[in-house]
């Protein structure tokens, strides 16, 4: 009987927040669709929220099994606990499969968790780092790590001229560059991504050649990443993974029906969708301005306002907006963006949301708040030209007049709006092409799978030889 070809077994390990789980789970599904055994290793706290066809899910411990990050209290303590407990339990997971038909051949780990690479190496298996930011942002932080760019960046240092990147002005820089002391633990985590990267067998980045090829090339000597994105469910791109409409992970209960029913009553390309992601927390003043801007724009809108922020909405706004708007606590963003009624996406410009907007061809208005969102917003407006970035005042607040002006420019028929819509469609097609058969991202993923198959078959042959030797039977004879 001919032995079935071994196609490898990959354990995929995300940092346990929604924006990191989604792209890594999507990558696991991509690998599974190519015949690789994929196991998603996630913390006990997030374990029950994951459900994806053809991907196994196994719990590991971050030491905060009951309450996740909130149990730890702060970023520094959490990362320390995750490193200690995660290293031990990831090692146990690899061990668990050791004598099975499909031992683990590679750990694909979130770049926020560099200790996972040490664990992979202790088990003599491949380790691959997966970056969930744009190549542009990776280019910047990799330079800081290697001492090629010093912090803080001061006003006289701009525009910042970095190989592969467009000139970056002060408002375009990740907030950590201007205020390194603002979130020291986050900055340390950002920089630690590059600490042992020279030991990694692969580096993956959730972006694509057509979108950020130059930006990646500008740092390829220090960060030789394979661009394999956009990691968005297949239904919206190449359609090659059956029934792949959702990521398969929701740390919140999405409200689907209500949103969809409401959208069905709206005209095509008429609704503004507003969401600031899972991490951003707006001030009451900023909420007030956005509420006023949406109301004054006269456009129908659907606004996702998290439970924790409902109290910051202006008094009486939910009632008074009923005519024009719907306010929900959470929803399935992709299904919403894909709906024909949506005309514009008001976003914080987190990288996943930016990729989703690009992949679905939806014009954007960026209202970035912190970290990398500022840089992503620069590209949305100035480089890919798929939207506008709303300008803040001297207090760092986007006023309602500014929001109304941006919405008008993006949605009202005119030269600017036509250019934005044309570019949005262009990027949507390029994103589809990248992940479609023979596309730039698809090729990189296939090369990875080929290497896994080679390694899996080598180790299978070694096991057979060892078993044959143990029985003292000449190899190949039964």
Residues with a catalytic annotation lie at 20, 110
Number of CB atoms found within 10 A of residue 470's CB: 8
Question: How far apart are the C-alpha atoms of 403 and 473, rounded to whole Å?
Answer: 77
Q: Is-contact 111 127, C-beta < 8 A?
A: no
Which tokens belong to 428?
């949507």
Q: Three-state DSSP class for 303?
A: strand
Q: What angle do CA 194, 43, 132 make, to 5 degrees?
A: 35
Question: How far apart are the C-alpha atoms of 70 and 421, rounded to whole Å?
Answer: 41
| Sheet architecture: strand order including 301-304 | 325-328, 301-304, 271-275, 342-347, 364-366, 387-389
Q: What angle do CA 92, 94, 99 make, to 5 degrees?
A: 105
Residue corresponding to tokens 């606590």? 329
Question: How far apart are the C-alpha atoms of 87 and 70, rounded to whole Å?
Answer: 20
Q: Is-contact 411 388, C-beta < 8 A?
A: no
> What phi and psi values does residue 241 have, to the nearest 5 degrees?
-105, 120
Which tokens belong to 103?
């031992």
């Amino acid at each position: 009987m001919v032995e079935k070809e071994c196609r490898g077994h990959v354990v995929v390990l995300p940092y346990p927040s929604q924006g990191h789980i989604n792209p890594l789970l999507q990558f696991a599904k991509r690998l599974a669709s190519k015949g690789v055994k994929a196991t998603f290793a996630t913390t006990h706290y997030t374990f029950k929220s994951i459900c994806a066809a053809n991907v196994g899910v196994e719990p590991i411990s971050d030491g905060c099994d009951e309450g996740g990050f909130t149990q730890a209290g702060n970023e520094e303590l959490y990362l320390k606990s995750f490193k200690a407990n995660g290293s031990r339990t990831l090692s146990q997971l690899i061990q668990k499969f050791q004598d099975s038909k499909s031992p683990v051949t590679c750990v694909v780990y979130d770049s926020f968790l560099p200790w996972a690479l040490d664990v992979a190496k202790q088990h003599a298996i491949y380790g691959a780092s997966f970056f969930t930011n744009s190549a542009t942002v990776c280019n910047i932080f990799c330079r800081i790590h290697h001492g090629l760019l010093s912090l803080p960046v001061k006003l006289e240092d701009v525009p910042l001229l970095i190989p592969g990147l467009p000139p970056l002005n002060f408002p375009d820089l990740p907030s950590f560059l201007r205020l390194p002391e603002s979130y020291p633990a986050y900055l340390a985590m950002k920089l630690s991504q590059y600490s042992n990267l020279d030991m990694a067998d692969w580096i993956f980045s959730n972006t694509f050649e057509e979108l950020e090829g130059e930006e990646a090339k500008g740092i390829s000597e220090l960060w030789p990443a394979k661009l394999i994105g956009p990691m968005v469910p297949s239904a919206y791109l190449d359609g090659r993974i059956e029934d792949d409409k959702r990521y398969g992970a929701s740390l919140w209960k999405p409200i689907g029906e209500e949103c969809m029913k409401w959208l069905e009553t709206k005209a095509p390309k008429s609704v503004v969708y507003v969401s600031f992601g899972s991490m951003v927390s707006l001030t009451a003043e900023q909420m007030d301005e956005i509420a006023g801007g949406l109301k004054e724009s006269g456009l129908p809108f659907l606004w996702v306002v998290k439970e924790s922020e409902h109290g910051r909405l202006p008094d009486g706004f939910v009632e008074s907006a009923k005519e024009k708007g719907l306010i929900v606590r959470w929803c399935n963003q992709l299904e919403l963006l894909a709906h024909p009624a949506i005309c514009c996406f008001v976003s914080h410009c987190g990288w996943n949301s930016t990729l989703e907007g690009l992949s679905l061809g939806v014009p954007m208005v960026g209202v970035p708040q912190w970290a990398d969102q500022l840089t992503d917003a620069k590209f949305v407006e100035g480089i890919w030209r798929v939207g506008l970035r709303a300008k803040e005042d001297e207090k760092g607040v986007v006023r309602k007049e500014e929001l109304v002006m941006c919405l008008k420019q993006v949605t009202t028929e005119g030269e600017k709006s036509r250019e934005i819509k044309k570019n949005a469609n262009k990027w949507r097609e390029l994103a589809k092409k990248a992940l479609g058969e023979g596309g730039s991202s698809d090729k990189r993923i296939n090369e990875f799978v080929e290497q896994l198959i080679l390694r899996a078959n080598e180790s299978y042959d070694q096991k057979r030889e060892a078993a044959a030797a143990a029985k003292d039977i000449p190899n190949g004879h039964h």
